[in-house]
Amino acid sequence: MIGIHSVHRRLAELTEKAERLGGYERLSILEQKDIAHCLKLNAQVVRRIDELKQLSFIAYQANDAEWQHELCNQLDALEANLS
pLDDT digits (tens, 9 = 90+) for 26-83: 999 999 999 999 999 889 888 999 999 999 999 999 999 999 999 999 998 888 777 6
Q: CA-CA distance, 51 to 35, in Å (whole number)?
A: 24
Q: What is the predicted pLDDT for the residue at 6?
A: 85
Q: Where does the chain show beta strands of DSSP type E? A: none
Q: Which range has the worst mean pLDDT, 5-9, 18-22, 39-43? A: 5-9
pLDDT for position 3? 66
CA–CA separation, 63 and 67 (whole Å): 9
